[in-house]
Each structure stands twice: as C-alpha cells, then as structure tokens.
Amino acid sequence: MAAKSALPLLKYLRVQVQALPQNARPSHFSLSPNVFLRLFSEEVRGSFLDKSEVTDRVISVVKNFQKVDPSKVNPNAHFQNDLGLDSLDAVEIVMALEEEFGFEIPDNEADKINSINLAVDFIASHPQAK
C-alpha cells in the first residue's frame, strides 16, 4: 500500500542523467548516490503545485469571499490589516481554501495563515494539495 500512495509523488522525482562515451559499455547497472536528490532552484524546491497557479486560485477564493472588497485583494494582502477581516473571517477563508485545494489544513497551521502569501506558500508546499 505504501508504494501506491507514493505514486503521485513520482512525477516530481528528477534524475540527473549523463551520457556515456560511445565506446564505453557499463558492466552493470549502478545508481549514483545523487540519483534520489531533487535538484531544483530555491524557489521551486519543496513545491508540489505551481506557485503562480496556487496564487491565482487563492486570490480567486479570497475575492469571492463576500466580506472582501475585490479591488483590495493582491498577493501581499494581509487578511486583517489590508482586507478588514476579523479572525472568524480568516478561519472561513482557510476553510474555503481547504475546499478549493482538497485537503485539510491542521488547526495549528491554519492559525498561522493570515495573509495571501502565507496561504500560497503553505498550499504550494503541501503534498496533498490538488
């Protein structure tokens, strides 16, 4: 069963390949110790969903929240300071994000998500986000 649950993650595995000279014939198959390292830029490392797609979807969810003025929504917006929401509204937005991305955000993490950027960072780096 563990192998089945790992299958969706396999599409994110990157293997570095080096060509052998034409006359070289390996006597056996061997893996370099680095074959299992994911070599990404700092911005992409640890991301499972495309960050720009996540940003667009998070902004859409926040703009559709009835207490938010859509003209004030931007990637740097803070829920309480910039959008004028209270803590209950922030909880409702996190719940809407859970529904949008198809996974549950633990309460201890949800309490930390108080801006669009924090929501994007958390969701883009979460392996269960869809």
Inside any domain, residue 120: yes
**Is position 26 within any domain?**
no
pLDDT score, position 45: 45
pLDDT value of position 127: 83
pLDDT on residue 4 = 56
Walking along the chain (130 residues) 10 residues at a time, the average pLDDT comes out as 56 65 58 46 56 93 92 91 90 93 90 92 86
Would you say residue 78 lies in a domain?
A: yes
Residue in 50, 86, 89, 107 annotated catalytic: 86
Q: Residue 120's pLDDT is what? A: 93
Q: What is the pLDDT, as a whole number, of residue 20?
A: 63
Q: Would you put residue 21 in left (φ > 0), alpha (ψ -120 to 50) or beta?
A: beta
DSSP 13: -
22/90 Cα distance (integer angstroms): 61
pLDDT at 25: 60
Residue 130 maps to a domain: no
Is there a domain that residue 36 lies in? no
Residue 101 lies in a domain: yes
What is the number of other CB atoms lying within 10 angstroms of the CB of residue 122? Answer: 20
Q: Residue 98 falls within a domain, yes or no?
A: yes
Q: Is residue 116 part of a domain?
A: yes
Measured CA to CA, the distance from residue 126 to residue 56 in angstroms comes to 17
Q: Are 16 and 42 in contact (CB under 8 A)?
A: no
- CB contact set of 40 (below 8 Å; sequence gap of 6+): 14, 47
Would residue 121 show up in a list of annotated catalytic residues for this protein?
A: no
Domain containing residue 68: 51-125
Residue in this structure with the two tokens 């004030």, named with its chain if needed:
72
Residue 64 belongs to a domain with what CATH number?
1.10.1200.10
d(CA 94, CA 24): 56
Domain count for the chain: 1
